[in-house]
Amino acid sequence: MSGRPTRPSRSEGADFEREQLLDNVSDDSDEDFVLNKKDGGKFSNNKLKEVKSQVEEVTNVMKENVHKLFARGDQLDELNERSENLRSASDEFHTASSRLRKTMWWKEMRTRLILGSLCGLVVLIMIVWLSVKYH
């Protein structure tokens, strides 16, 4: 082996990415150090609370956007599946309609041949009858 980590399958990668994006775990100690400084810091408690609330609001909006993105992906997968089903149904319809068209053409030709033969037979009988009668 080359020592590189194995690549997860597409579904495993997507599940892992979803977990990473949607988890609420934050181990960023630098952020906590800066945001939780006592009076010696640049931000007052009110400013700090305001920034935390804005960050939380942005995080919630981003989580909602990620949920919408995954829902859209699922809808696109469903739409793709439906279009594949429609394509296969249209192929089946095309095959059946071609078969039906050929069948109907042969039926029409058979009917024309039978009618033509009957007309020819009638004409032949009339010719023979007339030739016998007037001969």
CB atoms within 10 A of CB 50: 12
CA distances from 77 to 2, 45, 69, 114 (A): 34, 47, 12, 55
Determine the pLDDT at residue 1: 43
Q: Is the pTM of this model over 0.95?
A: no
- Tokens for 43? 């931000």
Residue type, 66: V
Q: Which residues of the chain have pLDDT under 70?
A: 1-14, 17-18, 20-43
The rounded distance, in Å, linking the Cα atoms of 121 and 115 is: 10
